[in-house]
Amino acid sequence: MKKLLLALTALTLPATASAQGMVTSADPRATLAGQQILRDGGTAADAAMAMLLALTVVEPQSSGIGGGGFLLYHDGTTGLIDTIDGRETAPAAATPDRFVRPDGTPRPFFEAVAGGRSVGVPGNVRLMAMTHARWGKLPWKALFAPAIKLAQDGYQVTRPMNAGITATSRLWSNFPEIAKLYTIDSRPLPIGATVKNPNLAKYLKKLANGGPAAFYTGDNARTIVGAATGSKLAPSDITLADLAAYQAKPRAAVCGKYRVYKICGMGPPSSGATTVLQILGMLERFDMTKLGKDSPTAWHLIGEAMQLAYADRDKYLGDSDFVSVPLAGLIDPAYIESRSRLISTDKALATYEAGTPPGAEPRTAAPSAEVPSTTHFIAIDAKGDIATMTSTVEGPFGSQLIANGYVLNNELTDFTFVPEKNGMPVANRVQGGKRPLSSMSPTIVYDAAGTPIFTVGAAGGKTIIMQVAKALIAHLDWHQSARDAIGEGLVFFNARGLVLEQGTARETLLAPLEKLGHKVVVAKLGLKANAAERTPAGWVGAADPRSVGTALAQ
């Protein structure tokens, strides 16, 4: 175990600049997989997909092929940016009362998580196939080699993985397959223990040879349906037809201006780009550079903009294939300016209500629940292609169900449990075939000349949006490096008021923010981000210092 810890410590050092390419992820084994693919002549798309597969093996508590994700891709030759939506979907049979008890009350969140009811149709393999077809260079099969080797030969348990096992293994009396993989004598595998997953290795070989059809049809599809519908807890209504019908969707990137920069991210069903752009837009009239990162006023302004933006998120965002989302109105500069004018430099707002953006239909606000998990990874190649992706199985170890060695997601708990409020349907209610609202926020920043200069994404439930917004402010306004920007302490919020990240410099803001009228608490937030910045010497990757993640040059 000592050797493992020394190796992980060494790999968390900042990466050197490279004009040839770089990779970064939340796990050193996945980062190495991406680096190897670049060195074998692969593109950023190839490297990112190899990291997705490796993370399926070594970071099962956070992501994998049993879940879904969002990809932003910048083409270094054309300069165009595209996005692919690989978000999970609800089974066709799903109804709005999926997470409502017979008495009409919503189920407690963790009661809804474990078991088949929470499993959405996984999207990551279709996303992989579309990404590889558009921008890949190496054979599909080549992307699987690092992950197969890890699953077959074994890998060591990291601190984050041990924490995930410890947090969820109390549920595993009803889930013998996952208990067999990640516990010994009913105790969580310790840091440094070796995990082998021969079933996953065997299946990945089939997927490598058979392509995405080997996931969405045939034996694997039957295994997914069997695991979800045969669950002892809350069996699912997912069918083989649901899996066969799944399609990843190319979508237009959502972009907006912040000072001289263009910020691009994911549109619905992600709430990432709209909410990040609102936060930044409301802050634009303030001199954040002059205020600096240690200013209570700066963090007061950030906290105000954050809460106003999240209020709009809770009211208007959902799957735009099912509900009307006033996308243009939410990021309209005039509307954002009107929201900014609600903010005072010397006094907190008493309440944070949603506004009425242009084009908005009457709607009722109803926030959904999310738990800290997920993962982000980035690959940049010598041609200048950028793949930046956030992937998830939702909560730690998803639904706790295993299919062919990989974890099945609990993504449907990202829907709002209450389908109606004040007599009106909620935008993010459950519907058959619908994709749940997400906070995942992969982001690319362009300078005034249109050159990509920064990319970032994060994990951690609803904090994802704020982690990304904070990193952008820290990098663009406070001129911090990518690593320092994502490592900067966070201010978030909950029903009690502002939450200052425990163990960081944000704790010193408690008294000053209280004087401005905020209710403030200090708490752990469970954050994890990855980023990359363009420098004169080339791209430099960064992994969150809170994590065991790494960044490596090609």
The residues annotated as belonging to the active site are 374
Q: How far is CA 143 from CA 71, 110, 138, 210, 501, in A?
A: 17, 35, 8, 13, 38
Q: DSSP secondary structure string, 70-113?
A: EEEEE-TTT--EEEEEE--B--TT--TTTTB-TTSPBPPHHHHH
Q: How far is CA 404 from CA 128, 176, 205, 233, 437, in A?
A: 18, 14, 12, 19, 27
Tokens representing 98 are 């999926």
Rounded to whole angstroms, the Cα distance separating 328 from 390 reads 24
Of the candidates 248, 268, 251, the one whose C-alpha atom is nearest the C-alpha of residue 123 is: 248
Three-state SS for 189? coil
Three-state SS for 459? strand
Other CB atoms within a 10 A radius of the CB of residue 180 amount to 11
Q: How many helices (H) and strands (E) does the chain have?
A: 20, 24
Of the candidates 355, 331, 332, the one whose C-alpha atom is nearest the C-alpha of residue 343 is: 355
For helices 28-39 and 145-153, give the axis angle rounded to 10 degrees: 140
Indicate the residue type of 68.
G
CB-facing half-sphere around the CA of 270: CA atoms within 13 A: 36
Q: DSSP secondary structure string, 301-359?
A: HHHHHHHHHHHHHHHH-S-TTTS---HHHHT-HHHHHHHHTT--SSS--S-------TT
**Phi (first) and psi of residue 471, to 5 degrees:** -65, -35
Tokens representing 266 are 């994911």
Do the beta carbons of residue 20 and residue 553 sit within 8 Å?
Answer: yes
Tell me 297's DSSP state: H
Do the beta carbons of residue 367 and residue 354 sit within 8 Å?
Answer: no
